[in-house]
Amino acid sequence: MPDRLKVWDASEHLDGEDVIFAYMNAAMEDGDPALFAAALGDVARARGMTEIARKAGVSRESLYRALSNEGNPEFATILKVMNAMGLRMSVAPVEPALPPI
């Protein structure tokens, strides 16, 4: 009998704030905007996409589409979703730091 494989869904493993923060920070450090948006979508699914969409003021369908692997959300959408989830971005110097201006 062939083995049945299940598609791995990150949202099923994002079960605590520390895990979510580490996941989002790793996605940000990768530097790929599409990966960051998809990771944000994973977190939104873990927390409840319908509620996040409502708080962000966007439809659930458009949020799924924007935060999918093929999505390309506007920065304003990213900020709305992060705010709805109680997350924020911060800026830190890249090592090695750039010389002062």
Residue of 22 and 101 predicted with greater confidence: 22
- Per-residue pLDDT, averaged over 18-47, amounts to 93
Q: Do the domain assignments include residue 9? A: no
Q: Do the domain assignments include residue 52? A: yes
Token pair recorded at residue 25: 């920070």
86: DSSP letter: T
Looking at beta carbons, which pairs linking 54-60 to residues 24 or more positions away fall under 8 Å?
55/83, 55/84, 55/85, 56/80, 56/81, 56/83, 56/84
Domain range for 21: 17-84
- Given a contact cutoff of 8 angstroms between Cβ atoms, the answer to whether 81 and 67 are in contact is yes
pTM value is 0.82
pLDDT digits (tens, 9 = 90+) for 53-67: 999 999 999 999 999
Domains held by the chain: number? 1
Q: Do the domain assignments include residue 1? A: no
Q: Do the domain assignments include residue 95? A: no
Q: Do the domain assignments include residue 91? A: no
Q: Do the domain assignments include residue 7? A: no
What's the one-letter identity of residue 12? E
- Residue 1 banded pLDDT, cuts 50, 70, 90: low
Residue 8 has a pLDDT of 83
Residue 95 has a pLDDT of 76
Residue found by looking up tokens 């580490």 in the block: 22
